[in-house]
Amino acid sequence: MAGTKVLVVDDSLTMRALISGALERIPGVEVVGMADGAAEARELVASARPDVMTLDVEMPGMSGLEYLAEIMETKPMPVIMFSTRTQEGAAESIEALRLGAIDCFPKPRVAAPAELDVIIKKLAKRLKAAKKAELKGPKSAKSGAQHPPIDWNGRLLLVGGDASNTKTLFDMFATFPANCPPTVVVQHLGVGMVESMAEKLAEQVAPRVVIAADGMKLEQGTIYLAPPGDAHVVVDQWPEGSLRLLPREPVAGERPSISLLFASAAKAAAANAVGVLMLDANEDGAGGLKALSAAGGYAFTPAEEGGFTLQRGMVSQAVATDALTAGVMKLCAK
């Protein structure tokens, strides 16, 4: 398999060197160019033809967010954002992910081996999936139409993903009706980003958006985002269910765990649960979704050729990404 060609864009010479050095330590990765801003980056995209770009959020002139929007409008490609900010910059990070970036990392503060090793491990994982990312420009008016209100049949909806799925989540939830089924989301995001995700979603979608809390009742018309921290989010009973936060060890390296959420729904709701996994089958969530399907629930998983596969038992069918909301609502309506 051909290596991954990366273009590094940052106005700081020191940061370009740090990020490039980290990338070159990853097997199969080649840094094909470095740019100090959008103008130079455009030229290198045309000449070096990178597979992936790393992009600074804060640059003089055209900002990283403005250039990212241009990229996704004209010729979408996998982009990984870097930002000097952490908590106070979480809103910018969420906006970058909403625009189509596949992840957003904090910049390394120093060239300390331990800090770089953490970044390299995460970058390697993200770059592995970058070439397979399903990239699209802005949504069309047709695909962005809101689904009409549903006559709810009592099914619970579970959704699992990570930072790379942020745009898909925004696109899907923007088409949800205000009376959508109770929807519980576990999304693996960086520190401080879930709160910004909730705030940004609440501005753009019809259902209510809240951060899940222990004992919170599951109600129609509400999207529940799992909080980061020391606890998993699980469904304790169904119908008339509620959420519990379990302070247990990470599952498959993740906390909260998508698999644990799906498995709890399989036990509590069985055939009255619909799961949507936006990650590859080898990521967190696959085991829980298998349990959900075995219990008679419905499972959406990414298809290799793009879109999703809906499966229940041995029966499966293809579902386009733009038709995901319609497919989910069909299963959750009488």
The tens digit of pLDDT for each residue in 10-46 reads: 999 999 998 998 899 899 999 999 999 999 999 999 9
Is there a single domain that holds both residue 12 and residue 71? yes
Is there a single domain that holds both residue 165 and residue 293? yes
Q: In what order do the strands lie in the sheet with 222-225?
A: 208-211, 222-225, 183-188, 156-162, 273-277, 298-302, 308-312, 315-319
pLDDT (average), residues 188-205: 90
Q: Is the pLDDT confidence value at 311 over 60?
A: yes
Residue 149 lies in a domain: no
Q: Is the pLDDT confidence value at 162 over 50?
A: yes
Q: Is the pLDDT confidence value at 293 over 50?
A: yes
Distance CA 291, CA 268 (A): 12
Q: What are the C-alpha distances in Å from 11 to residues 42, 54, 314?
A: 14, 12, 53
Is there a single domain that holds both residue 249 and residue 174? yes
Q: Which residue has the higher pLDDT, 148 or 134?
A: 148
Is there a single domain that holds both residue 318 and residue 171? yes
Q: Which residue has the higher pLDDT, 295 or 315?
A: 295
Is there a single domain that holds both residue 196 and residue 240? yes
- Burial status of residue 333 (CB atoms within 10 A of its CB: 0-12, 13-18, 19 or more): middle
**Percentage of residues in the chain having pLDDT higher than 70:** 92
Tally the domains of the chain: 2
Q: What is the pLDDT of residue 315?
A: 81
Is there a single domain that holds both residue 184 and residue 48? no
CA angle 66-68-71, nearest 5°? 115
Residue 201 lies in a domain: yes
Residue where one domain finishes, among candidates 114, 130, 146: 130
Q: Which amino acid is at 201?
A: L
Q: What is the pLDDT of residue 272?
A: 96
Is there a single domain that holds both residue 117 and residue 209? no
What's 18's DSSP letter? Answer: H
Residue 137 lies in a domain: no
Q: Is the pLDDT confidence value at 50 over 60?
A: yes
User: Which pTM was predicted?
Assistant: 0.90
324-331 and 166-174 helices cross at what angle (nearest 10)?
Answer: 60
Q: Is the pLDDT confidence value at 322 over 50?
A: yes
Q: What is the pLDDT of residue 160?
A: 96
Is there a single domain that holds both residue 204 and residue 302? yes
Instruction: List the CATH number of the domain containing 269.
Output: 3.40.50.180
Q: Is the pLDDT confidence value at 170 over 90?
A: yes
Nearest CA to 108 out of 6, 33, 20, 193 is that of 20
The model's pLDDT over 58-101, given as tens digits with 9 standing for 90+, comes to 888 999 999 999 999 998 999 999 987 655 568 888 999 999 99
Is there a single domain that holds both residue 206 and residue 120? no
Mean pLDDT of the chain: 89
Is there a single domain that holds both residue 27 and residue 103? yes
Residue 135 lies in a domain: no
- Token pair 């379990």 is found at 246
Is there a single domain that holds both residue 211 and residue 326? yes
Distance CA 309, CA 122 (A): 27
Distance CA 172, CA 301 (A): 15
Is there a single domain that holds both residue 249 and residue 318? yes
Instruction: List the CATH number of the domain containing 62.
Output: 3.40.50.2300
Nearest CA to 157 out of 48, 300, 254, 11 is that of 300
Domain extent at residue 104: 4-130
Q: What is the pLDDT of residue 192?
A: 80
E strand segments, the chain: 4-9, 29-35, 52-56, 79-83, 103-106, 156-162, 183-188, 208-211, 222-225, 232-235, 243-246, 273-277, 298-302, 308-312, 315-319
CB 144, CB 170: distance < 8 Å: no
Q: What is the pLDDT of residue 138?
A: 47
